[in-house]
């Protein structure tokens, strides 16, 4: 299994920025998807953004398009999520996940497609 560790969560004022980081112990193969999900209390886990290994293609939930950017430093096994224009509705526990899959599946941002998850990092945007 791939071990994932997230960091970077914090309390930030509305309109502010934050960068999350996820370090993976290894990559499962050359054809994997890494993604960010989030879950707020009482809500289902929601796909936020993903990136596909071989193409570098990125995908975003409509709610974060234009505000969040997902990038990867493969030399350091690290996934980033740069968040700007934060809103109170962005408050959640943010998880990173990884699994082997094709590019099309990566773009669907479905939690059930991922087998390895981190423990999460909390982002709070007070209203």
Segments of the chain with pLDDT less than 50: none
Q: What is the pLDDT of residue 119?
A: 97
Q: What pLDDT, on the 0 to 100 scale, is given for residue 30?
A: 85
Strands 121-123 and 92-100: antiparallel
DSSP, collapsed to helix, strand or coil, labels residue 89 as helix
pLDDT of residue 9: 98
Helical (H) or strand (E) element with 121:
strand 121-123
Angle 49-105-33 from CA coordinates, rounded to 5°: 55
pLDDT at 65: 98
- pLDDT score for 15: 98
């Amino acid at each position: 299994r791939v071990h994932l560790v997230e960091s970077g969560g914090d309390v930030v004022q509305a309109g502010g920025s934050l960068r999350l980081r996820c370090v993976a112990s290894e990559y499962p193969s050359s054809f994997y998807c890494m993604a960010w999900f989030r879950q707020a209390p009482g809500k289902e886990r929601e796909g936020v953004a993903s990136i596909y290994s071989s193409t570098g293609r990125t995908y975003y939930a409509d709610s974060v398009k234009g505000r969040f950017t997902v990038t990867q430093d493969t030399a350091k096994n690290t996934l980033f999520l740069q968040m700007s224009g934060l809103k109170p509705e962005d408050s959640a526990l943010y998880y990173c996940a990884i699994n082997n899959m094709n590019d099309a599946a990566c773009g669907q941002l479905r939690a059930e497609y991922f087998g390895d998850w981190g423990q999460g990092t909390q982002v709070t945007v007070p209203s």
